Amino acid sequence: MTTLVTDRLTLRALQEEDAEAIVRELGNFNVSRWTGRVPFPYGPDDARAFLAHCSTLADDALVLAIARADELVGVIGIEQDELGYWLAEPHWGNGYGTEAARAVVDHAFTAPGREELIASYHLGNAASRRILLGLGFIEIGEGSAFSKARQAEVPHMKLRLTRNGWAQAKERRR
């Protein structure tokens, strides 16, 4: 199992013991409304299904708990070359999203063969926009996607990050 450690966070495999925290945090509409695949309300059955899904991921996929001092503060992952994440509302504004995303993207591009990642954010989600642009993602076009939490099509921005773009972004941060 992959574990990544940053200055303040441990990104580790999800465990059954995380289900209660996942339900609590994704049961907050302020969090789930910004996701595409998370239903609202979010209950124990949803968490069990999510954890079961995580146990059957493809070899090139990675879904990790974002933990700080043994507290689950969010989830981040890459599936089918798409980066996605969410953070519990009490942990917004602390830079954890950027810190976790940098570690996961760096890990993704250390593997040979992965030449790009994609991501998206719902328009209006300024925090995700900042995180993704800070990583070096380039906005490639607006579209719409169904939000399970909102039960509606919502406008979103699609982004792409190449291996070269990641290397350039890392160099700028030095």
Domains of the chain: total: 1
Residue-level pLDDT, tens digit, the chain, 174 residues: 799 999 999 999 999 999 999 999 999 999 999 999 999 999 999 999 999 999 999 988 999 999 999 899 999 999 999 999 999 999 999 999 999 999 999 999 998 889 999 999 999 999 999 999 999 999 999 999 999 999 999 999 999 999 999 999 988 888
pLDDT at 112: 84
Give CA 116 to chain center in angstroms: 16
Note the pTM of the prediction, 2 decimals.
0.96
34 φψ region: left (φ > 0), alpha (ψ -120 to 50), beta (else): alpha
Structure confidence by residue, pLDDT tens digits, 113-126: 899 999 999 999 99
Structure confidence by residue, pLDDT tens digits, 140-170: 999 999 999 999 999 999 999 999 999 999 8
Instruction: Please report, for the domain that includes residue 53, its CATH number.
Output: 3.40.630.30
- Which residue range forms the structural domain that includes residue 123? 4-173
pLDDT at 130: 97
Whether 75 and 64 have beta carbons less than 8 Å apart is answered as: yes
